[in-house]
Amino acid sequence: MVLLEVKDLSVVYRTPFGIVNALNDVTFSIDKGESLAVVGESGSGKSTLALAVARLLPPNARYVSGSIVFDGIDILRLSSDEMRKIRGTGIFMVFQEPATSLNPVFKVKDQLMEAVRIRYEREGNTFDESKAINEIMSVLKDVRIPDPELIIERYPHQLSGGQIQRVMIAMGLLMRPKLYIADEPTSALDVTVQAQILKLLKDLKNEYGISILFITHDIAVASIIGDSIMVLYAGQLMELGPAKNVIYEPRHPYTQALLSSIPKISKFEGRLPIIGGSVPNLLNPPPGCRFHPRCPHRMDVCDKVVPNLVKVNNVHVRCHLYGQ
């Protein structure tokens, strides 16, 4: 069953220097209980996509086209109040900087209590403090927080990055959203903690049937967390499909280049140079395929015509190598 369906989504930012074309015609869906990892270099539009889905784009952003249907509701048509109700309960988002997601003046316990209270309210139940505390302790154990009794009495600044991240994951679970959006939630953490949190997210996805939209610049991380992977480049969706296909039979030259930087999981070891050049300035994106200036397989057509998204087996790819 489809939970989130995004069609032809384009987003721009207005800036003093002109219009930044951050997302162009992005189409994808996420089923209930499925995870999609979005991967691409810095500036490819990943955060813009996550914020667009949660309707948390900054004021200088504008939806140019497309639709976002969440749980059967076209969320671009909702009022801010209606959207607020969906956020937190239907859609929960953990930001890149987890430290800024918690309120510095309240103890962890109060903030988790509030999350439970919001859910009780949504479900039409009367808030019961002792029941809520039991639930909080049980979820903190699920997220492998050591000494939860001590942690809940602390303020956010008294926690480590890994602890804050786990508290945020716990908060998401207490809210029981249908869609959990995580924007680079592990990138500030050390590798061991990153691996633990990814495993935890996967376990929780399976246990609670939560859908996940996971943003990362690291295709190795994407391959761990994503049932499917979307490769974004300069605001264009380049490849989208089941993780195993994208990782083991990458079709787009950009996906291949991303994979060549982690030879261990790729059969492309040593066959492609590490990707040269950088993501273009989106005030003035390259015409045609936005990857063409860096592409080792560039053809005459590539700087003239935007390739269509074509289906090759069960993967969608936007590249002239695969026809129009």
Ligand X SMILES: Nc1ncnc2c1ncn2[C@@H]1O[C@H](COP(=O)(O)OP(=O)(O)OP(=O)(O)O)[C@@H](O)[C@H]1O
Distances (CA, A) of 64 to 22, 58, 118, 236: 11, 14, 33, 15
Report the residue number, 43 or 162, with the smaller CB distance to ligand X.
43
Determine if 280 is a binding residue for ligand X (CB under 6 A).
no
Nearest to 322 by CA among 226, 250, 222, 235: 250
User: Rule CB under 6 A: is residue 48 a binding residue for ligand X?
Assistant: yes
To ligand X, the closest distance from the beta carbon of 3 in angstroms equals 22
Among 4, 24, 25, 45, binds ligand X (CB under 6 A): 45
Structure tokens at 306: 């935007």
* Residue 109 structure tokens: 């316990």
- Which one among 9, 24, 30, 47 touches ligand X, defined by CB under 6 A? 47
Instruction: In angstroms, give the least distance from the CB of 221 to ligand X.
Output: 13
Tokens of 91: 């859609």
* Binding status of residue 116 toward ligand X by CB under 6 A: no
282 in contact with ligand X (CB under 6 A): yes
Given the complex with ligand X, which of 60 and 278 has the nearer CB atom? 60
Give the range of 45-53, 69-77, 298-306, 316-324 binding ligand X by CB under 6 A: 45-53
Question: Please, which residue, 187 or 196, has the CB nearer to ligand X?
Answer: 187
Chain-centroid distance, C-alpha 309: 21
- Write out the binding residues for ligand X, residues 213-252 only, by CB under 6 A: 217
In the complex with ligand X, the residue whose CB is nearer, 48 or 245, is 48
User: Which position among 4, 9, 34, 46 is part of the footprint of ligand X (CB under 6 A)?
Assistant: 46
Q: Residue 93 corresponds to which tokens in the numbers above?
A: 């988002």
Stretch that binds ligand X, among 42-50, 116-124, 132-140, 141-149 (CB under 6 A): 42-50
List the structure tokens of 207.
């246990």
Which residues between 10 and 39 bind ligand X (CB under 6 A)?
Answer: 13, 15, 20, 22
The answer to whether the CB of 70 falls within 8 A of the CB of 91 is yes
Minimum gap (Å) between residue 48 Cβ and ligand X: 3
Which CB sits closer to ligand X, 42 or 79?
A: 42
3-state secondary structure of 76: helix
| Ramachandran sector of residue 184 (left: φ over 0; alpha: ψ -120 to 50; beta: rest) | left
192 contributes a contact to ligand X by CB under 6 A: no
For residues 132 to 171, the per-residue mask of contacts with ligand X, x marking binding by CB under 6 A and - elsewhere, is: ----------------------------------------
Give me the least distance between CB of 12 and ligand X, in Å please: 9
Write down the residue that tokens 């003239």 correspond to. 304
Q: Encode 215-252: b = buried (16+ Cβ within 10 Å), e = exposed.
A: bbbbbbbbbbbbbbbbbbbbbbbbbbbebebbbeebbb
User: Residues in contact with ligand X, total (CB under 6 A)?
Assistant: 16
β-pair partners for 23? 11
* Range list of H helices, the chain: 46-53, 80-86, 108-123, 129-142, 148-151, 161-175, 191-208, 219-225, 243-248, 253-260
**Binding of ligand X at residue 42 (CB under 6 A)?**
yes
Query: What are the two backbone dihedrals, phi and then psi, of residue 276, each rounded to the nearest 5 degrees?
Result: -95, 165
For β-strands 236-242 and 91-94, DSSP reports them as unpaired
Decide whether 148 or 226 has the Cβ nearer to ligand X: 226
Region binding ligand X by CB under 6 A among candidate stretches 41-49, 84-92, 257-265, 286-294 = 41-49
Instruction: Tell me: does residue 313 bind ligand X (CB under 6 A).
Output: no
Binding footprint of ligand X on the chain (CB under 6 A): 13, 15, 20, 22, 40, 42-48, 58, 60, 217, 282
